[in-house]
Amino acid sequence: MLAKVQSAHLLGIEPYAIEIEVDIAQRGLPHFNIVGLPDTAVKESRDRIKAAFKNTGFPFPIKQITVNLAPADIKKEGSSFDLPIAIGILSAEGHIPKEALKDFLIVGELSLEGKLRAIKGTLCIASKLKDFGIKKLIIPKENAQEAAIIEDLEVYPLDDLAQVVEFLRSERIIKPFKTELKIDCNSVIYEDLAEVKGQFQAKRALEISAAGGHNILFIGPPGSGKSMLAKRLPGILPPMTIDEAIETTKIHSVAGLISEGKGLVTMRPFRSPHHSSSDIALIGGGQIPKPGEVSLAHNGVLFLDELSEFKRNVLEVLRQPLEDGFVTVARSYATVQFPARFLLVGAMNPCPCGHYGDNLKPCTCTPQMIIRYRSKVSGPLLDRIDIHIEVPRVNYQELKDDTPSESSNSVRERVIKTRQIQLKRFKDEGIYCNAHMKTKHLRKFCKIDEDCHSLLQSAMEKLGLSARAHSKIIKVARTIADLDGSENIKASHIAEAIHYRSFERLSF
């Protein structure tokens, strides 16, 4: 007897339709064989399925069982094929009508007692079901909130193998699971910028960064508040749109970071990998490509504390995602692309001891030590960071001052207003903020007068700025002008933007 079950396989965050063919022969020695390039986890499903049958009360056929995962030229991995293979065996044995399987796509892992366990990437699979010509999905109950995000899709979350069989036999009536697709901004809690004492210039730079989507680097002695500032950046960014939330949730779902019973990721991600992280951990990859920190920070913030302590080869892999907004991971059998449009925040000390330029603590480093330390962050990477801002030590008078500082909410209102200006400006351009402008956009939206040109020329000659740094200055100036409500970029906006480029390689 032959039975066919529709399932899906993920390659990166892209799902592919998989047809599971189960053939049970009446003659020959008993065996249970899975073909179609299965990995170890798929092969081990044989033992899980046998135990699940026994503990659920279904007789396991002692016959020749051949399972084919088609198409056979795509490598299959993971435990999500347990349930569809089990259903295919039961259908081939006549326990489930074959006609009942035509309208469903089935995924799920089986426990030894026959319970359904959550799988990774449910939202990615659900989002592509229409392309597969299927509108009904059977999944583990823990994945219900995530899959039901997709509209016009019938999601049937079930607890165990017995329930699935009863449902497919029409012995159990289960209504499709529904959830409300919305983002409640009031339920998202971020750390407040008002908690940061002093550092008014750094707060201004942080606001500009959020308003235009600009990457930012904080340089200052230990304890000056660099990490505090970085952690409060998500709280002044605009709320996530539905599309952004779905994009982010897909990546987190593939990585297995969606909590049980949770649906959309509504908080902008804040990822802070340790400086001992490898390049694969940061950029993604592995034998079976998985998203790295840059992709997990998509639509959010990637914070690299102690930037100069990261290995140089690790930092250099950031170049492509900073420019392109995605990561391409090539392996021998497949090339996978992960989205990686994040806002980079770096923090570093000015020297190995951390006190270069400090008025209270003298620096104990030699000039050669300082140059060697700062050169760990390459010029090409610095070029891709729009704003460099010094964060000096906070004095006691600022620490004891109890005057209420400006809250994240009030700063966020200005940021949202500025982003709306940019959305209107770029409505036909396919970009969403000033930091993403290309050369053609600079010519169209960032025209400057002779005074601005004179300032830029002087800055490029004195600081040795590159052409990319020149573009970054204009982009930041465009954001400053937007914050000021100015249609044109003025010399004062250019001057402030130049101030944020003072920490260049030639100043080391």
- pLDDT tens digit at each of 508 positions of the chain: 799 999 999 988 999 999 999 999 987 788 899 999 999 989 999 999 999 999 999 999 999 999 999 999 888 888 999 999 999 999 999 999 999 999 999 999 999 999 999 999 999 999 999 889 899 999 999 999 999 988 889 999 999 999 999 999 999 999 999 887 776 666 567 889 999 988 899 999 999 999 999 999 999 999 889 999 999 999 999 998 888 999 999 999 999 888 766 778 888 999 999 999 999 999 998 777 889 999 999 999 999 999 999 999 999 999 989 988 999 888 777 788 999 999 999 999 999 998 888 878 889 999 999 989 988 888 889 889 999 999 998 888 888 888 878 999 999 999 999 999 999 999 988 888 999 999 999 999 999 999 999 999 998 888 888 888 899 999 999 999 999 999 999 999 999 999 998 665 434 4
Nearest to 290 by CA among 301, 282, 298, 300: 282
Please tell me whether residue 206 adopts helix, strand or coil conformation: helix
* Angular region, 291: left φ>0, alpha ψ -120 to 50, beta rest: beta
C-alpha distances (whole Å) from 439 to each of 48, 312, 337, 472 are: 56, 29, 25, 11
Tell me, what's the pLDDT at 180? 77
Phi, psi of 222, rounded to the nearest 5 degrees: -60, 140
Q: Are strands 109-110 and 116-117 parallel, antiparallel or unpaired?
A: antiparallel
d(Cα 508, Cα 505) in Å, to the nearest integer? 6
pLDDT at 503: 65
Residue 57 zone, left/alpha/beta (φ > 0; ψ -120 to 50; rest): left
Which pLDDT score is estimated for 400?
A: 83
Residue 458 has phi, psi (to 5 degrees) of -60, -40
Quickly tell me which residue has 């056929």 as its tokens. Answer: 61
| Contact (CB, 8 A) for 89 and 21 | no
Residue 374, class by beta-carbon neighbours within 10 Å (0-12 exposed, 13-18 middle, 19+ buried)? buried
Look at the domain 186-425 and name its fold.
Rossmann fold (3.40.50)
Q: Which residues pair with 138 in a beta bridge?
A: 106, 156
Q: Kindly report whether the peptide bond that precedes residue 367 is cis, defined as omega within 30 degrees of 0.
A: no
- What are the beta bridge partners of residue 382? none
Which run of H or of E encompasses 124? helix 122-127
Q: Where in the chain is the domain with CATH 3.40.50.300?
A: 186-425
Q: Which two tokens stand for residue 264?
A: 């959309």
- The whole-angstrom distance between residue 306's C-alpha and the CA centroid of its chain comes to 22
Show the tokens assigned to 22.
Answer: 């189960």
Per-residue pLDDT, 32: 93
Rounded to whole angstroms, what are the CA distances from 360 to 201, 336, 393, 415, 508? Answer: 20, 51, 9, 36, 21
How far apart CA 384 and CA 469 sit, in angstroms, is 8
At CA 440, angle to CA 439 and CA 445, rounded to 5?
100
Q: Are 432 and 426 in contact (CB under 8 A)?
A: yes
Q: Encoding tokens for residue 28?
A: 């020959």
Beta strands per DSSP E along 141-266: 154-158, 216-219
* pLDDT number for residue 226: 94
CA dist., res. 58 & res. 50, Å (int): 9
* Token pair of 43 as six digits: 């092969």
Residue 508: the pLDDT is 42
- ∠ CA 158-244-235, nearest 5°, is 110
d(CA 228, CA 220): 13
Residue 506 confidence (pLDDT): 39
Asked if 343 and 322 count as a contact pair (C-beta separation under 8 A), the reply is no
Cα separation, 236 vs 501, in Å, equals: 23
CATH of range 2-168; options 3.90.180.10, 2.40.50.140, 3.40.710.10, 3.30.230.10: 3.30.230.10
Q: What is the C-alpha to C-alpha distance for residues 435 and 438, in angstroms, rounded to an integer?
A: 9
Range(s) for CATH 3.30.230.10 in the chain? 2-168
Closest to 116 measured CA to CA, from 93, 152, 154, 87: 87
Amino acid occupying residue 302 = L
Pairing type for strands 290-291 and 284-285 reads: antiparallel
Interatomic CA distance for residues 105 and 132, integer angstroms: 9
